[in-house]
Structure 1
Amino acid sequence: MMKIELTTIDDTNTAEIKNVLEYLETEKKSAIANGDEDKANNCWLNLASLDLNILFIKAFNNIKLKNYRQAWNELEQCEIKENYIRENSYKDHIAASRLDFIKSKISKWQSLYPYCLFCSPGFKVGYYSCSICGHKIRPRSRCEHKKGKVYNGQLCVHEVHDMEMLEISIVTKPAQKYSVMHDDSTLDFTLLEHLSSFLDNAFEDWNIRWTKMKFPIARFSSVSKEDKCPCKSDKTFEACCMAKNEVEIPHVDFLFSKPLPSDAENIVFPYDNG
């Protein structure tokens, strides 16, 4: 892969990156025309990896801008792209293209979202065909091409034909993460906002540690007895922890590779009045 600067959102729009993408696309087309499959596949790999890095930067930038739903969808696209790239990659390329870093951070960013309900459509599919050769795929009749592998610069996917929607279910672990069933205006994105405020770019290293902390009951005066209990038991506050002296609630520590201002160590408590 060619050495280029690709760290910030501004880097994704430079003439340099556009020239590199155009060059790789031209080289891929030329390799396909000349029957050079190894070169065509390598061009695909570098194009896909650059596209993944650009998309990951855009997702981070949208989190910074508080465009949380857009960032969520982009993180899911990153997840899909990363899987395909890894399937067709090799050790040195994985290191050079930041695949391990991006894979690790995608799941960590997603874990900080408050989304928990999704719609999952059920479909009846007439048949699938191979995107490489057009073969109609049946249980006992498959072509030589493997789904997810690259052939002559083209990713093999199974294309759907004669699809009919049957049902829509509400699930907590969706196949399609973009199908969020929440109104973002009603949700708390404090964790995402707090973390992103300390990061300058998508490739700064950080980690999270999920724990629990106890606080005096007086700290929860803003929680009404009918509200969900802060301990996340799904019971009402009255039926759960309201009569206790202390309430133990989920807590997350953010761990950074760079020094932070001293006030960054302050605990953000979500139930204080005002």
Structure 2
Amino acid sequence: MMKISLIDAQTAIINYKDTFKSRSARHILESLRGMKASAIASNDKSKLREVRGWICLLQAQEHYFSAFEKCLQREYYKAWCDLEVSITFIERLPSSLDVKILECIDFLKKKISKLQTLYPYKMFGSPEYIFKRKCTICDSYVNYRKKCEHLPGSIYDGKLCKYAMTDFEFLAMALVENPVQKYSVPFAKDEATGKHFDHYDYKLLDYLFSGIRNPFEHWDYEIQSKAVPTSKFKDLKDDVSCPCISDKKYGECCKGKEVIVIQNLEFVISEFAARRIKSLGGKWRVKPPARNIGREFHIAIFHTTHEDLS
């Protein structure tokens, strides 16, 4: 297949809403990678920065589209990982960007943020490890105190300088709410088989993706507080999570009160999406799932690397 020009690649990426079904992302990516290699070979730093920016934007878009398709297939954890990869590529984009590019980024950020809010994941594994960095030009080990004469991202005799990480040593794993990366989601373990399984309640995502079909389809949500008589929860046991989502047990929290304040999440969706949901017997209001996660869950770590991040 014939390689495309940078202008054609830019047009396809900027007009993503019109081209995302018809464009060949793989073809565009291969062409851009070829331009990146040419820029490195010719020591053209300006061209290298420009092409790397377009590669990152294309990758960010494609991983968002992939996440949307996985959500339609109810593969929610895989979709979550795609959303995280998309965020990584967005963060690698240069600070000074064209208005049209900023519009593309703003769309992705808003969509990803809204989707991730609907996920039940609240705690994540945060690994601690030590490693060494080695310059790919002179093969010297570098650190914050000791550096070589080469700068990462610069070109030396047709070769791109990078700091390669080597000699990894895992130290520990902690459960935290806001880690640097959020791939490491805790999953429960079946003690009988020794296998991990996805125990999370994805009712909000199930509800949304039973209605929407297009990654550009408008949707939003509103969270409202509602006072519900405690009598409605008369059959609730003391040792279960409190309906107010306080992360406390019902018997230690709202039991005995006249009312319990709970949160209702109401989706704002298109008429077509509403009809799809109604045809499936969906309700208009759904309550967010409880946010309690056990302390002894085993950690499943997802790790990914991309040549386009270098």
CA distance in 2, matches of 1:156, 1:51: 22
* Structure 2 contact 151–161 (Cα < 8 Å) conserved: yes
**Superposed CA offset, 1:158-206 (max 9, x none):** 4323222222222222233111112364221111222233322223343
Moved more, 56-65 or 247-256: 247-256
2:263 aligned residue: 250
CA distance in 2, matches of 1:186, 1:121: 22
SS in 2 for 1:210: strand
Return closer, same or farther for 1:146/1:24 CA change in 2, 3 Å cut-off. same
**Superposed CA offset, 1:235-264 (max 9, x none):** 3223322333322112323334x4464868
Q: In structure 2, which of residues 71, 86, 94 is the aligned counterpart of residue 63 of structure 1?
A: 71
* Structure 2 contact 53–94 (Cα < 8 Å) conserved: no
Q: CA RMSD in A?
A: 3.4
For the pair 1:42 / 2:47, whether they are aligned, the reply is no
Return closer, same or farther for 1:137/1:206 CA change in 2, 3 Å cut-off. farther
CA distance in 1, matches of 2:288, 2:180: 31
Q: Where does 1:164-179 land on structure 2 (aligned, <5 Å)?
A: 164-179=169-184
The count of residues paired between Structure 1 and Structure 2 equals 263
- Aligned-partner residue type, residue 187 of structure 2: H
* Structure 2 contact 241–247 (Cα < 8 Å) conserved: yes
2:243 aligned residue: 230
* Structure 1 contact 48–81 (Cα < 8 Å) conserved: yes
SS in 1 for 2:120: coil
SS in 2 for 1:2: helix
Normalising by the residue count of structure 1, what TM-score does the alignment of the two structures yield?
0.78
Q: In structure 2, which of residues 29, 34, 41 is the aligned counterpart of residue 33 of structure 1?
A: 41
SS in 1 for 2:223: strand
SS in 1 for 2:251: coil
Return closer, same or farther for 1:23/1:72 CA change in 2, 3 Å cut-off. same
Q: Where does 1:70-149 land on structure 2 (aligned, <5 Å)?
A: 70-87=78-95, 90-92=97-99, 94-95=101-102, 98-125=104-131, 127-130=132-135, 136-142=141-147
Identical aligned residues as a percent: 30
Return closer, same or farther for 1:63/1:196 CA change in 2, 3 Å cut-off. same
Return closer, same or farther for 1:24/1:154 CA change in 2, 3 Å cut-off. farther
- Aligned-partner residue type, residue 142 of structure 2: I
Unpaired runs of 5+ in structure 1? Answer: none
- Aligned-partner residue type, residue 2 of structure 1: T
Moved more, 242-251 or 186-195: 242-251
CA distance in 1, matches of 2:122, 2:186: 8
* Structure 1 contact 129–136 (Cα < 8 Å) conserved: yes
CA distance in 1, matches of 2:57, 2:39: 18
Q: Post-superposition shift, 1:56?
A: 0.6
* Structure 1 contact 229–241 (Cα < 8 Å) conserved: yes
CA distance in 2, matches of 1:145, 1:93: 34
Q: In structure 2, which of residues 233, 238, 262 is the aligned counterpart of residue 220 of structure 1?
A: 233
CA distance in 2, matches of 1:195, 1:114: 14
- Aligned-partner residue type, residue 181 of structure 1: P
CA distance in 1, matches of 2:31, 2:127: 40
